[in-house]
A and B are shown apart, each in its own frame.
Chain A
Amino acid sequence: MNSAVRRLSDIPLNEMHVVSAVSVPEHAQEWRQWLEEIGFIPGEQVMVTARGMLGGDPLVVHVGASTFALRLAEAGCVQVTAAPATGARQVA
């Protein structure tokens, strides 16, 4: 259950996850590079820490040592799995 792939936009607040892949929609190919540049790279730790008031959009996401605000559309491109419970880090 823990290893199930979910989208970053769907995970509960304050639960550590690990990026497994980035898949962007056809019309926004450049998002892949942008997301990778700000740290959404397979193996990196991510956590959603806050959501906007209206419709839970946008999200506040910790990625690596940075914090970014993403809209649901971009967050939906990032696939994640639950982080190993031991806290051991996976180095890509």
Chain B
Amino acid sequence: MNAAVQPAIIHFHKSGPLIALVGNPNCGKTALFNLLTGSRQKVANYAGVTVERKEGTLTGNDGKPLRVLDLPGAYSLHPRSPDERVTTDVLFGRAKGERQPDLVVCVVDATNLRRTLRLVLAVKRTGLPCVVALNMADVAEQRGVRIDADALARELGLPVVKTVAVKSGGDAALRLLLDGVKQRSAGATVSAPDTSIASIEGDHKTVQEILVRLGLDGVVPHTASDRIDHIVLHPVWGTLLLLTTLFLMFQAVFAWATVPMDAIKEATAWTGQLVTSAMPDIWLRSLLVDGIIAGIGGVIVFLPQILILFFFILILEETGYLPRAAFLLDRLMGSVGLSGRSFIPLLSSFACAIPGIMAARTIANPRDRLVTIMIAPMMTCSARLPVYALLIGAFIPSQQVAGWFELQGLVLFGLYLAGIAGAMGVAWILKRFTSAGRLARPLMMELPNYHWPTVRSVAIGLWQRVEIFMRRVGGIILILTIALWFLASFPGPPEGATGAPIEYSIAGMIGRWLSVIFSPIGFNWQICIALVPGMAAREVAVSSLGTVYALSATGTDTAAALSPLIAKTWSMATAFSLLAWYVFAPQCLSTLATVKRETGGWKMPLLMAGYLFALAYAASFVTYRVALMLGAG
């Protein structure tokens, strides 16, 4: 027997019956998945592609576990995005490392049968055992649509049950149906797929005929959602509402996060001191305190901001507002060759590029997704703020401009704008000078009906984000942190050395070499040394400068002690050049590691690092030279 037609036995799979949920986007499929499996979910990627794979476990009424796979939403089995391709491949048994499901649950939106039933017909033709979950049955009934599930089952030739994914117990009928599912024995083939040519119009006609016979062919009037959209999609009011929402979101990210962030910083410092006092002064202590504890603390400190940001994004996503925001911004983003969907990932990147790059998964078009990932690090993340604050505080006088504005604030605002302008410029160049960029790409984005977000879905979504972030901290970021500590600590200073120990380390040597490259843009060797450990996280550069200048102060005191020192020893041109550097430079290995994970290879992160370094160097060079000409040397 040929292995190609027996994919189920090539790979090792966990045993137990496998159920796959299939449905149109926005039919409430994931909510139903959350209701069926609760918190017993595992999020990973499908083999070879960066499409999120969600599997959960459901305990049947007979106490036996069932594996449930939440397949990406699809409008048909003719894939148009990597996500939809996964769904099709799994159903036809072509997906790498996936077993063909033992039962398919087709989730359909009871308020929109005319579109969603077409997918049921297509799934039925695959020959896989199949049941239909008539989801949002409660909403349909509120709108006066009474669906006779038994009559529909007779028409389709498939079992049909009503479900309400947003109510606990709303899956009871479906659970009863799942009880009898058995794992297909190895080697058993599914019934032969129906290969007769099916056209969309043909299926549409079949669905229409069924709906006419069931008395369900009337178009359900758009009700509450329409009234809300009247304001939300209004050119003026809608835009104002969007700006207000974004403003409040940002306020919350920065204001609410202060207390937990301070607590994490204190906990990090406290843990460091505890270890310092408990251990003799050997290299292991330095590794633990300066390397691992400080390094991980420096990354976890962003967790509160990431949580708050994702809390808002999940709420906006659950309610159905996100595609509306994308609609309002589509034209603006379209002018640089992106679509409205790129907006949220870029917005998230203002807190930290890592969640932003993770959020780019919501962009269906692979090219748009890649461009969004590539420009995300130029959004001013909060890790740049300590560096900006140090330099602005040291070099920009605190004075009023035009009687209204604080000069220091204006400079900070200018740095944010420079990042945005850089990102838009790069996107525009990619649109103008690549063949894929000039190609017209359609939007065709569904605006689903508004829903109240459910606590369950938001909580599960938030927990999954935290898990992904923490797993990364535990893995790649920990390794990088240790590597950088090693570079900054070895070899130790020779006998009778007068400078800071870091000067004699590998990082110090690298810094000295770098100063040859960086002297044309005005960086002295102290800055160059600080840039090396600053690769762990941007703000680490501040404490590294403190180390280089042999300051004994720690933590927040470093900046206060550094400020007058660098104001005296650096030229204004050097300071501006370093600011320009930080706007563009890929000074964050965690971001590059995330890009590697999301794009599935080293090509994109290397390309990103290369072009951002070039851009940063050019920006710093111009800034430095112009500043020198203006007499800021």
| Partner-B contacts on A (CB < 8 A) | 27-28, 30-31, 33-39, 41-42, 45, 49-55, 57-58, 60, 62, 64-71, 73-74, 89, 91-92
Contacts and interface: CB of A to CB of B under 8 A. Distances in A.
Given A52-B328, A69-B323, A74 B444 contact: yes
Contacts of B330: 52, 57-58, 69, 71
Given A39-B115, A41-B204, A91-B217, 7 more contacts: A39-B114, A52-B235, A54-B332, A57-B330, A67-B229, A71-B442, A74-B443
Contact of B115 (A33, A34, A35, A65): A65
Given A41-B200, A49-B226, A28 B233 contact: no
Interface of B: 75-76, 78, 80, 111-115, 118, 200-201, 204-205, 208, 212, 217-220, 222, 225-226, 229, 233-236, 239, 323, 326-328, 330-332, 334, 439-440, 442-449
A41 B445 contact: no
A86 B218 CA distance: 14
Given A65-B114, A91-B217, A28 B442 contact: yes
Contacts of B239: 53
A35 B75 CA distance: 11
17 contacts: A27-B439, A31-B442, A37-B78, A37-B118, A49-B226, A52-B330, A60-B233, A64-B112, A65-B111, A65-B114, A67-B447, A68-B444, A68-B447, A69-B330, A73-B440, A89-B218, A92-B201
A71 B447 contact: no
A34 to B, nearest CB: 6
Given A38-B75, A38-B446, A69-B445, A30 B80 contact: yes
A92 B208 CA distance: 8
A25 to B, nearest CB: 8
A77 B201 CA distance: 17
Given A65-B114, A67-B447, A91-B212, A33 B331 contact: no
Which interface residue of A37, A39, A74 has the most chain B CB atoms within 10 A? A37
B235 to A, nearest CB: 4
A92 B275 CA distance: 76
Given A69-B443, A74-B444, A53 B334 contact: no
Contacts of A70: 442-444
Contacts of A89: 217-219
A31 B441 CA distance: 10
A52 B331 contact: yes
A66 B440 contact: no
Given A50-B234, A60-B233, A69 B327 contact: yes
B363 to A, nearest CB: 15
B112 A34 contact: no
B395 to A, nearest CB: 39
Contacts of A42: 201
A1 to B, nearest CB: 25
Given A35-B444, A36-B200, A41-B201, A58 B327 contact: yes
A28 to B, nearest CB: 7
A51 B225 CA distance: 17
Contacts of A45: 219
Contacts of B204: 36, 41, 92
A64 B115 contact: yes
A45 B219 CA distance: 9
A62 to B, nearest CB: 6
A74 to B, nearest CB: 5
Given A28-B440, A91-B212, A38 B115 contact: yes
B112 A66 contact: yes
A36 B201 contact: yes
A63 to B, nearest CB: 9
A42 B448 CA distance: 23
A36 B234 CA distance: 27
Which interface residue of B212, B219, B439 has the most chain A CB atoms within 10 A? B219
Contacts of B448: 67
A76 B114 CA distance: 24
Given A37-B76, A66-B115, A68-B444, A53 B331 contact: yes
A54 to B, nearest CB: 4
A34 B234 CA distance: 27
Contact of B200 (A37, A51, A91): A37
A79 B233 CA distance: 24
Nearest to B234: A50
Nearest 10 A/B pairs, CB to CB: A53-B235, A50-B233, A65-B112, A67-B447, A36-B200, A54-B331, A37-B75, A69-B327, A74-B442, A71-B443
B229 A50 contact: yes
Contacts of B111: 65
Given A50-B234, A53-B239, A68 B445 contact: yes
Nearest to A45: B219
Contacts of A31: 442
Given A50-B233, A64-B115, A69 B447 contact: yes
A34 B442 contact: yes
Contact of B334 (A33, A68, A71, A92): A71
A89 B115 CA distance: 16
A68 B328 CA distance: 13
Contacts of A51: 235
A86 to B, nearest CB: 14
Given A35-B444, A69-B443, A71-B330, A49 B229 contact: yes
A55 B200 contact: no
B442 A60 contact: no
Contacts of A38: 75, 115, 444, 446
Contacts of A41: 200-201, 204
B331 A57 contact: yes
Contacts of A39: 114-115
Contact of A68 (B212, B233, B446): B446
B208 A67 contact: no
B446 A67 contact: yes
A67 B222 contact: yes
A29 to B, nearest CB: 12
A45 to B, nearest CB: 6
B366 to A, nearest CB: 14
Nearest to B205: A92
